[in-house]
Chains A and B, each alone.
Chain A
Amino acid sequence: MTALTSMLQKGERVELYLRRLFESFGYKKYRMSKFENYDLYAENKSFLKNESIITFHDLSGKLMALKPDVTLSIVKNAKGASAEKYYYVDKVFRLQSQNREYREIAQMGLEYIGPIGLFETAEVVSLALESLSAIERDYVLEFSHMGFVEGLLAGEGVTGELREQVLTALSQKNVDEITLLCSRAGLSSEQVERVAALATLGGSYAETLAKARGISRTLETKAALSELGVLFELLDELKLSSNLRLDFSITNSVDYYNGLIFNGYVEGLPRAVLSGGRYDNLLRRFGRSTSAIGFALYLDEVERALREPKDYDVDYLILHEEGEDSAGLFRACRKLIDQGYTVTALRKRPEGLRCKKICRFQDGVLKEETVC
């Protein structure tokens, strides 16, 4: 079996490893078709990071979409009364903002839908941490809490259009812009300072939590911080806290996430490879009163980093002529393959093929030729 997995690229091994990990925690694989009713995405546009979707009409004239997301479908179909635990490995179709083209993107994700307490949160977070550590030794999982961010903004009177603008500037840690926006809107200098502090509140969990308590003034923000505090204590007790950070500038899809949100980064990759959080708001939209938490792992980003360059396409190239002893050639190839080599038998050497050794099969024997 080890010989078999050694064939795989590291990205594929990570995927298999994580599938086993998720299954052993009782998560079931969720399978969905490539298409979904367009209405689902039209009604939940703000949940999708990018609104552009590939659509087409099916034979009955219904507008369908190539799925840009899996979570929405899982939530739509999760109707059970008890907790539901799913993971998925799937392709989604999204517009790349850089070159304005659609791309098929490999994604892996995990969703927990049901009543959520400290244990469930810690389980999902621990799986997110383990996913990151499977990719790269140096990784960071950073947390924010929408209850804290929204509570603080509302408490200082940052609402409506100003809130949108401040959230955008916040996601860029743009202190100058936040200061400008808030003072222009007539906030007092202490208020401006507290809002702008959000952008710089980041770093080690314990230290940042203490600083955040300094600007927390409402019940909502206090509740959010105590939730973060309790979670951290538990993760610390489980020896899972060394790669955790707090950063209140995270603002992924604020309309859907409530409570905890998080992003995962690994050293050497320029973008977040994991993102997730608590999304009870999305379930409300589907008329469910229960909670949900989950994350997605961007496999295509990961695979790019994990791709191991190969020096050779094949170990042995065996050249042979028409009319040679076919059974002997087959046995010669098989013998090398059984020794663990890769072998290709061809009449002529293809251009650009990189091989370790070239052999010629002639008169029933294999003779090594000089290496290219």
Chain B
Amino acid sequence: MLTIALPKGRLGDKVYSLFAKIGYDCREMLEDNRKLVFTSEQNGVRYLLVKPSDVAIYVEHGAADIGVVGKDVLLESEPDLYELLDLKLGSCHLAVAAKNGYVEDEESVLRVATKYPHVAQSYYESLNRQIEIIKLNGSIELAPILGLSDVIVDIVETGTTLKENNLFVMQKIVPSSARLVANKSSYKFKGAMIDRITALLKGEIAND
């Protein structure tokens, strides 16, 4: 039995339909219920639906053998995993954004609001720029509007949310998309099945 951790929500739905297409469907998943664990004995898989930022934790600790997680999460937490495939879903960028008309004051310490303190820190370290991190867990766009921070570091998909909040992208830091990850130990013992899934997914993406 292979345990697969998927992120709850839209991305998770897309990823599940990819898995279903390559022959790992699980009828329980389609039933409308509040379950978090779905098993398909027939296909030898079990799906877990977890918070997107927790997928890597489930996989790293072996609670799931493989999983699908955004590159942004991997960059932030740097878990010890195999990153087997870029699924090219949920493409976006980690970027620096600020209020329209904002001009950076190079003399003062930059206040950065973000869900990604590690990414932000190492990005600004590479620029030798001193910053103060303000760690937020949501509604990051609010921070520069209220003067809580000078800029934000966040994922930007289409930029609509930014535009609606009167913000603009200053710099793109790094691209991100959904990745197939595997627990290192699971890969030693269930490698054949994981390799098969990776190859099939790769083929499926190429077809799209």
Contacts and interface: CB of A to CB of B under 8 A. Distances in A.
A270 B185 contact: yes
A245 B187 CA distance: 12
A203 B61 contact: no
Contact of B61 (A175, A266, A268, A270): A270
Contact of A203 (B83, B184, B191): B191
Contacts of A272: 184-185
Interface string A256-268: 0000000001111
A265 B188 contact: yes
A269 interface: yes
Most A-side CB within 10 Å, residue of B82, B83, B188: B188
A148 to B, nearest CB: 20
A173 B83 contact: yes
Contacts, number: 48
Interface residues of B, number: 18
Contact of A176 (B61, B86, B189, B191): B86
Interface in A28-77: none
A140 B82 contact: no
Interface string B60-93: 1110000000000000001011111110000000
A273 to B, nearest CB: 9
Contacts of A356: none
A265 B185 contact: yes
Interface residues of A, number: 23
A241 interface: no
B183 interface: yes
Contacts of A111: none
Given A138-B189, A270-B61, A265 B184 contact: yes
Nearest to A200: B195
Contacts of A176: 83, 85-86
A140 B60 contact: no
Interface string A315-348: 0000000000000000000000000000000000
Interface in A75-112: 97
Contacts of B83: 169, 172-174, 176-177
A265 B60 CA distance: 14
Contact of B62 (A97, A249, A270): A270
B61, B81, B184, B186 pick with most chain A CB within 10 angstroms:
B184
B204 to A, nearest CB: 16
Q: Which of A175, A266, A270 counts the most B-chain CB atoms under 10 A from its CB?
A: A270
A64 B184 CA distance: 35
Given A172-B81, A270-B61, A270-B62, A142 B86 contact: no
Contacts of B61: 270
A138 B184 CA distance: 15
Interface in B173-206: 183-186, 188-189, 191
6 contacts: A174-B82, A175-B85, A176-B86, A269-B185, A270-B61, A271-B62
